[in-house]
Amino acid sequence: MGLISISELKPDMVLADDLSDRSGRLLMNKGTVLNQKYIKICKIWGVIEADIEGISQEDTEAIALKEFDASTIAAAEENARKYFLHCDMDHPAVRELFRLCTLREAEGKRPGREDITPEMPPQAINQATPKKKPSVINPAKFIKDDTRLSTLPDIFRHIVEAISKPNSSAHDIADVISKDTNLSARLLKIVNSAFYGYPSRIDTLSRAVNIVGTKQLSTLAIGINMTNMFKKIPCKIINMKLFWQHSILCGINARIIAGHKNIQNTERLFVAGMLHDIGRLLLYNEVPAQSLHAIIIARNNHDLLYLAEREILNCDHGDIGGELLKKWKLPVSLEDTVRHHHDPQKSQNRLEAAIIHLADVMANATGIGSSGEILIPPLNHDAWMQIGLSPNILSLTMEQSGRQLDDIFESIYIDDNNAQKNI
Ligand SMILES: [Fe+2]
Ligand SMILES: [Fe+2]
């Protein structure tokens, strides 16, 4: 029996078993010879994997890598292995992530990580670990009223107020959002992108609110505003474009995984993913010396950055991000998910925290963007069990999120050099 991911199905493969959709409805019978049309149907109906004749479990792990010669695979595996230093390689999901990471390495799609911290002194890396006393941070007291970004812009508050009112209509929400023309234009761009994939063009905000949904559009608006807010603050420690690429990719992964779990309002997960590392931006801005110290320690010791943060600061960016969202009075569930994304078992909402955790691990494995971390954070086994999906969800999600990333990134993140083009 060889269960292979839908993203790796090829025409002429033969089903070794009946194939059903997510709700158990039979789509194709055992013995069906696949063609492009059938593969498309599988994708439309959210099928994750199919049992294929003549393919063993070992074959499924080697599939796709067969396209490369042995020396390319060996070099790609060696490179990929460096990132999995802290991962349990016996776990089936980690093995699948490793295979996908190796594939990206072999295809040359996994860029080097040298550009993440543009202003890090080159002599700092590979030198003896700096001796510096840890500076303990109390997350609850870290964000004061005069801390930059401690308050939300008015448009945010108005959006949150509008969605909090039980009787607000789509028209009310559209009215609030339309006061910000830049935001409106960008929201329309997103709802017309591959991210949503609506067949006809949506050209007014009220139609967008009606079609996409009030809460969904509001959470997207919050995400867009967030990148804008942080753009006003120069950050010397991290490459901001890479930071938002990582964050947005995590959000897209989370939204796709949530869809497979039949979670309603998957945009909430998108925003949680987008904000999961927001605490790092605050740390980089407010305590740059200590943040840099943590980065150097992590690099020199091949350690995970969030653990180095705990060592230096006695807390991590999850704690800081959670406090920031609390200060902003955003929903407690969002605050809790962000706070515990590296320890999802501590969350009150374990499934959503587990989804953000997995989405983050996956974003790190693809090597697109970074919030400062170079290595792949270990996958929490309980979180994986909580999500309860097959490892084949990983390649499918990566394939879909890879397709959506450019569109949504261009709509949310405005590069100053391309500002005119993107608005
Ligand atoms: Fe993180
Ligand atoms: Fe992250």
pLDDT digits 0-9 by tens, 336-382:
999 999 999 999 999 999 999 999 999 999 999 999 999 999 999 99
Q: Which residues contact 322 (CB under 8 A, 6 or more apart)?
A: 139, 279, 335, 336, 338, 339, 340
- Closest ligand relative to 304 C-alpha: 1
- What does the block give as tokens for 256? 């796709």
Adjacent-strand bridge partners of 327: none
- Closest ligand relative to 247 C-alpha: 2
- What does the block give as tokens for 289? 């010396």
Confidence at 423, pLDDT banded by 50, 70, 90: very low
Asked whether the beta carbons of 46 and 22 are under 8 A apart, the reply is yes
317 CA to middle of ligand 2, Å? 10
Q: pTM of the prediction?
A: 0.85
Q: Which residues contact 373 (CB under 8 A, 6 or more apart)?
A: 298, 304, 305, 306, 364
- Closest ligand relative to 337 C-alpha: 1
- Closest ligand relative to 249 C-alpha: 2
Adjacent-strand bridge partners of 19: 28
- Closest ligand relative to 340 C-alpha: 1
107 CA to middle of ligand 1, Å? 27
- 329 — alpha (psi -120 to 50), left (phi > 0) or beta? left
422 pLDDT above the threshold of 50: no
- Closest ligand relative to 305 C-alpha: 1
321 CA to middle of ligand 1, Å? 9
What is the C-alpha separation between 391 and 375, in angstroms, rounded? 20
- pLDDT tens digits, 245-298: 999 999 999 999 999 998 877 878 888 999 999 999 999 988 988 898 899 889
Whole-number pLDDT of residue 90: 95
118 pLDDT above the threshold of 80: no
Average pLDDT, the chain: 84
339 CA to middle of ligand 1, Å? 9
- Which residues are placed with Cβ below 5 angstroms of ligand 1, an ion? 277
Confidence at 309, pLDDT banded by 50, 70, 90: very high
- pLDDT tens digits, 189-246: 888 888 788 888 888 888 888 888 876 777 778 777 777 787 766 677 888 889 999 9
What is the C-alpha separation between 4 and 13, in angstroms, rounded? 11
Confidence at 421, pLDDT banded by 50, 70, 90: very low
69 CA to middle of ligand 1, Å? 35
Asked whether the beta carbons of 183 and 177 are under 8 A apart, the reply is yes
Asked whether the beta carbons of 184 and 177 are under 8 A apart, the reply is yes
- pLDDT tens digits, 122-132: 555 555 455 55
- Domains and their CATH numbers in the chain: 1-63 (3.90.105.10), 122-422 (1.10.3210.10)
Whole-number pLDDT of residue 417: 52
How many other C-beta atoms lie within 10 A of the C-beta of residue 345?
Answer: 14
